[in-house]
Amino acid sequence: MQLVCIMADEGRIITKIIAEIDWEIIQTIRVLRKPKFSQVALSLEIGFSEGFIGKVENPKLNAIYSFRHINLIAKALGLMISDILPKKPLSNDLIKVFIKLKPPTKVKKGEINYEVIRTIPLTSEEVKEYNNKTLNRPSKSGKPVKLNKRKPLRKKK
pLDDT tens digit sequence for 99-132: 999 887 765 666 788 999 999 999 999 999 999 8
Question: What's the CA gap between 23 and 27, in Å, rounded?
Answer: 6
Q: Do 38 and 110 contact (CB within 8 A), yes or no?
A: yes
Angle, helices 20-33 vs 67-77, to 10°: value is: 20
Rounded average pLDDT over 144-148: 54
- Lowest pLDDT segment from 32-46, 56-70, 96-110: 96-110
39 or 105: which leads in pLDDT = 39
Q: Does residue 47 carry a pLDDT above 50? A: yes
Give the domains, in start order, of the chain with CATH numbers. Answer: 2-135 (1.10.260.40)
Measured CA distances, 71 to 48, 67, 151 (Å):
13, 6, 35
pTM over 0.95: no
